[in-house]
Amino acid sequence: MNFNSAAKIAQSQGIKVDSVIVNDDVAITDRSRRRGTTITVLVHKIAGAGAEEGLELKEVKRLAEKVIENGRDIGVALTPCSVPAAGKPTFELGEDEVEFGIGIHGEPGVQRMKYVESWSFAKMMIDKILDDLKLTPGDEVALIVQGTGGTPYMEKFVFYRDARKYAESLGLKVAVSWVGEFMTSLEMQGGRIAMLRLDEELKRLLMYPAYTIAIRNTGPFISTLVS
């Protein structure tokens, strides 16, 4: 609703506007109902790089749609978060429970399950992504592992290690790795894994120089990640 209203205002002012819908969350089976999660950040990054190079609007939209088609994400929560307006946690978990398939606004997941080790989460989440994205051995990917707002960096890097080892054991080529906080849920503890199938165009634009709060690419193929 808000994006459509903004587009109408921009159009009334003579600004060329188009839109895309990101639906990368593989926790939801019906793709028409999927939420936009981590891949939204990569849409901004890659479409923005294309715009910076001077591409026309239709080409920028093509890039955005290409990222959406080739990217998937899933998340898990170890604790809930508290939305300020509500003043209480969005859901409750037992000490040995987690929410699998969470959204990015504090929504509960699609499955409540018992806590397992990091490598088990990584395997379950990557299997979901691979099955939906139809990745095959030899495919080149960007692997994005992030926290959900309250996860220590030590735990994020342990989770990344497990995710990367499993991805490579399946024959995937991890060309780009990001570990950090890119799209979070306040103080929630947990993690998300996203994968983007790469070709030369997407890889170049993903690594195009950028300097933002969360993403700092200092050169064509050098990525510096910050908290």
- List pLDDT tens digits, range 24-40: 999 999 988 999 999 99
C-alpha span between 132 and 153 (Å, rounded): 28
Residue type, 140: E
Domain at 75-225, CATH class: alpha beta
Name the one residue in this structure whose structure tokens are 């593989």.
Answer: 26
pLDDT of residue 224: 41
Name the one residue in this structure whose structure tokens are 């933002």.
Answer: 212
Mean pLDDT of 45-52: 96
Q: Indicate the range of 47-51, 103-107, 169-173 predicted with least confidence.
A: 103-107
Roughly how many angstroms between the first and final C-alpha of the chain, as a whole number?
32
Domain locations along the chain? 75-225
**Under DSSP, is residue 178 helix (H, G, I), strand (E, B) or coil?**
strand
131 contact partners, CB below 8 Å, separation of at least 6: 26
**Under DSSP, is residue 57 helix (H, G, I), strand (E, B) or coil?**
helix
Cα torsion 37, 80, 152, 125: sign: negative
pLDDT band at 219 (very low <50, low <70, confident <90, very high): low
User: Is the Cβ–Cβ distance between 133 and 197 less than 8 Å?
Assistant: yes
- List pLDDT tens digits, range 125-140: 999 999 999 999 999 9
**Whole-number percent of the chain with pLDDT over 90:** 83
pLDDT of residue 223: 43
Q: What is the mean pLDDT of the chain?
A: 92
pTM of the model: 0.91
The one catalytic residue in 8, 31, 105, 165 is 105
Mean pLDDT of 192-209: 96
pLDDT of residue 226: 41
pLDDT of residue 225: 43
Is residue 44 among the annotated active site residues?
no
**Whole-number percent of the chain with pLDDT over 70:** 96
How is residue 31 written in tokens?
Answer: 């793709």
